[in-house]
Structure 1
Amino acid sequence: MLRSRPHAAPSAPAGIAGAFLLAVAVAATVVTVPGSPARAAVPGSPARTAVSAAPLPVALGAPAEAAALAAPLPTSPCDPGGVTAEDTALAAELNTRLTMKMRGYMDGYRVSCARAVVGAVRARGLAREAAVVAVTTAVVETGVRNINREVDHDSLGVFQQRATWGSAAQRLDVAWSTGAFLDKMLRTYPDGSWRSAVVGDVCQRVQVSKYPERYQPQAADGQMIVSALWPVSGVTRSEVVARARTWNPGTARRVPYSQTARHGGYRTDGSGYASMALRLGAPGPDSRGLSSARHSRPIPVSELRSGDLIIRATGPATARQVIVFDRWADAGRTSYWAYQQRRGYGTDHRRMSEGLSAGSGFTAHRPLTIR
């Protein structure tokens, strides 16, 4: 990790890595250090292009990096909804693919923090490359953790922003802190010029770190994390319906309902079926994942269109449902036709009214993958 300071704030003499290591020493944490990756030249690739995935030198060295990542520092949630099962599953996958300091250290919480950063970038309407810059910075600064104790001077949050950035509550709000990070990036690089700059250089000019060399080596992993969290290119509404029909709804060949079975790699429950129709990664997020900012945005029921979702994501697993909207059934919009993987039956296409009355617990959502 490293010290960062906004604008003209004075540089720190020790840096956050030292603070992390002190915390480790005080807690008597024992860290097993993996072998350090081989050195390779750092390419000067621009942010708009793929960053080299070849192993790059770890600035602090493997022992210091491992100790800093394992430091038992207090953190705040990055997502008010908490860590999802999908976050944990993605962390396990990333741990086998990352090549630098985060390899083996990703967990559901860190993924939830990266997801919150990516979501904030998407909410601003910025390109994926902006998320790569932000996540790369978070990797170096905190190991993608929302640290809520002033370990390094008065720095807080996933970017270790100093008090001059904002209040403690603001800096610990990942959406706010990411927005502040992006604001400075856009001021520093007007007219989108950040997109043609080297990722590590953009990180440094925003953070104004005492250790500028530490960002670029993590850029390839930053890109990999963002790629795993950024929605795929998407599907059209007609493609969603066509894919929903492949499970033969309402026929003798329909796919039976199950929360544990798989069909074509997808879970054969409601959220797995909807994930398949939307061409999301198998086995698919659960109902809470589909309703989160990572995969959809809430819309008024009156705006429902073919391929949108109607979700009840609260309550026990037996009460949660995901419905794929097809079309309105009548001019008065008192019911609609929809596709659903229905408990006790399987894939169905039927007329429904769930979510049309207040207090039903259902909410309408527009998937981010629909183009």
Structure 2
Amino acid sequence: MRRARIRPGSPHSAGVTAGALLLAAAAVAAVPASAATAAPLPTAPCGSRGVTAEDTELAARLNARLAKKLRGYMNGYRVSCARVVVAAVRARGLPREAAVIAITTAIVETGVRNIDREVDHDSLGVFQQRATWGSAAQRLNVAWATGAFLDKMLRKYPGGSWRSAKVGDVCQRVQVSKYPERYQPQAGDGQIIVSALWPAPGVTRAQVIARAKSWNPATAQRVPYSQTKTRGGYRTDGSGYASMALGLAKPGPITVDLAKNTYTRPIPMTQLLQGDLVIDPVGANTARMVVIFDRWADAARTSYWAYQQRAGYGTDHRVVRHGLESGTQFRAYRPVGIR
């Protein structure tokens, strides 16, 4: 594994070692100025799907949420690598905490890239595993490399004891890095990446409504509306309220993202069922809106009861017509996995 890291100065620089930099500097001194630009470290594909449009779209959203090393440096390729790591953890039947540990390690080791050149001794792959871990082909197989990482983690922490240890401590015990302090600061971003890639468990319509009621809609105890404050980790705006009701990762995706296929799929307004969403994802954040469908208010279906975190009021339960008027930008959406 790599022993020295720098924060990425470009999307390709994460994971370059101090030794490699010294060697590169010496090489640059011996070549003409026109040839002095260092080439990026070569990488191998991380999975059979390659980089998809969904990977690129998710990278753009993550760039605004990440806080440490990879903020502004996520791209579709890094997401494709992270996706394979997370899938390998899920295939083992381990909880998402194990994926957070693996992704946190990959952030520090390579910036979540499958590096296929032995830059630091004989280290290869997304975890920069040495030759003692396996063959080059195995270490460059991200699913295999993740499995090997998990095997060692489970050996070092028998009986599931890794679950009560700090993320950074587990990363270090598996990797044995010269710089153990570098893992824990990336754990928060590891959690964000995993939450974006680990499908939320299915939720029942009754659970959605019960959670919506927990913010005491249309009562004196209702939760005040705010785009900056939180309650139980969720933003107290419309999208935060809907995310809470659906049990999505905190603080909840914004309204625009709730309308994307990561979380919902569009349906006709006539097919709305309790717990579905009606969303206007267009315009500035003060214009966008999301409500939770409860039930039709009349037999002709000209209006319906909805739960909403309403600007200027707070948590509400009232009759609305969003999506039923001509020319409206509201559309009906069904949450992924709702039953």
Q: Under a length normalisation based on structure 2, what TM-score does the superposition of the two structures give? A: 0.55
Name the CA distance, whole Å, in 2 between partners of 1:119 and 1:209: 25
Cα distance in 2, alignment partners of residues 158 and 207 from structure 1: 12
TM-score (norm 1): 0.50
SS in 1 for 2:99: helix
In the other structure, the counterpart of 1:106 is 74
AA matched with 1:198: K
- Alignment partner for residue 203 of structure 2, among 225, 235, 238? 235
Is 1:116 the counterpart of 2:78? The answer is: no
AA aligned opposite 1:106: M
Higher relative contact order (CA 8 A, sep 6+): 1
Could you tell me which residue of structure 2 aligns to residue 3 of structure 1?
3
Distance 2:174 2:22 in 1: 27
Does structure 1 residue 86 correspond to structure 2 residue 54?
A: yes
Equivalent residue number for residue 311 of structure 1: none
Contact 1:234 1:279 in 2 (8 A): no
Root-mean-square deviation (CA, aligned residues, Å) is: 3.8
Structure 2 distance, partners of 1:370, 1:131, is 24
How big is the shift at 1:133?
Answer: 0.4
1:181 aligns with 2:149: yes
Q: What displacement does 1:3 show?
A: 2.3
Aligned to 1:128: 96
CA separation of 1:148 and 1:235: change in aligned 2, threshold 3 A: same
CA contact (8 A) 1:2 1:140 kept: no
Q: Map 1:228-267 to 2 at 5 A.
A: 228-235=196-203, 266=259
* Shift in alpha-carbon separation, 1:23–1:121, aligned structure 2, 3 A: farther
- What are the Cα deviations for residues 295-325 of structure 1, in whole angstroms up to 9, with x where unaligned? xxxxxxxxxxxxxxxxxxxxxxxxxxxxxxx
- Aligned mate of 1:150, from 98, 118, 126: 118
Task: Give me the whole-angstrom Cα distance separating, in 1, the residues matched to 2:110 and 2:45.
Answer: 14
Indicate the SS of the match to 2:65.
coil
> CA separation of 1:227/1:16 partners in 2, compared to 1, >3 Å: closer, same or farther?
same
Alpha-carbon distance, 1:235 to partner: 3.4
Distance 1:96 1:122, change over 3 A: same
CA distance, structure 1, for counterparts of residue 141 and residue 338 of structure 2: 29
Distance 1:109 1:117 in 2: 13
- Counterpart amino acid of residue 209 in structure 1: S
In structure 2, the CA distance between the partners of 1:155 and 1:272, relative to structure 1 (3 Å rule), is same
Find out whether 1:74 has 2:42 as its counterpart: yes
- Look up the match of 1:165: 133
Matching residue's letter, 2:152:
K
Q: Do the aligned partners of 1:3 and 1:16 also contact (CA within 8 Å) in 2?
A: no
* Structure showing greater Rg: 2
8 Å Cα contact 1:95/1:104 also seen in 2: yes
Shift of 1:211: 1.1
Paired residue type of 2:111: G
Correspondence for 1:95: 63
- Secondary structure at the aligned position of 1:117 is classed as helix
Instruction: For residues 310-367 of structure 1, give each alpha carbon's deviation from its aligned partner in whole angstroms, at most 9, with x where no partner exists.
Output: xxxxxxxxxxxxxxxxxxxxxxxxxxxxxxxxxxxxxxxxxxxxxxxxxxxxxxxxxx
Relative to structure 1, is the Cα distance of residues 104 and 23 closer, same or farther in structure 2, using a 3 angstrom cutoff?
farther
Report how far residue 79 of structure 1 moved: 1.4
Structure 1: tracts of 5 or more residues without a match: 5-14, 31-70, 240-262, 284-367
- Cα separation, 2, equivalents of 1:120 and 1:80: 14
Secondary structure of 1:223's counterpart equals: helix
Q: Specify the code of the residue in structure 2 equivalent to 1:129.
A: E
Counterpart AA for 2:18: G
Residue 170 of structure 2 corresponds to 202
Offset of 1:94 from its aligned partner?
1.0
In the alignment, the residues of structure 1 paired with residue 258 and residue 90 of structure 2 have an alpha-carbon distance, to the nearest angstrom, of 28
Instruction: Tell me the residue number matched to 2:248.
Output: none
AA aligned to 1:208 is V
C-alpha separation between the residues in 2 aligned to 1:134 and 1:194? 12
Query: Does residue 217 of structure 2 align to residue 216 of structure 1?
Result: no
Q: CA deviation at 1:29?
A: 4.7
Matches within 5 A, 1:278-357: none
- What's the CA shift for 1:234? 1.8
Aligned residues: 214
Cα distance in 2 between the residues matched to 1:72 and 1:169 = 21
Could you report, residue by residue, the CA deviation over 1:67-109 in whole angstroms, capped at 9, with x for unpaired residues?
xxxx711001111111111111111111111111111111000
Give the whole-Å Cα distance in 2 for the aligned partners of 1:172 and 1:140: 17
Q: Distance in 2 between matches of 1:212 and 1:136?
A: 12
Alignment partners' CA distance in 1, 2:189 and 2:92: 23
Quick one: which of 190, 200, 206 aligns to 2:158?
Answer: 190
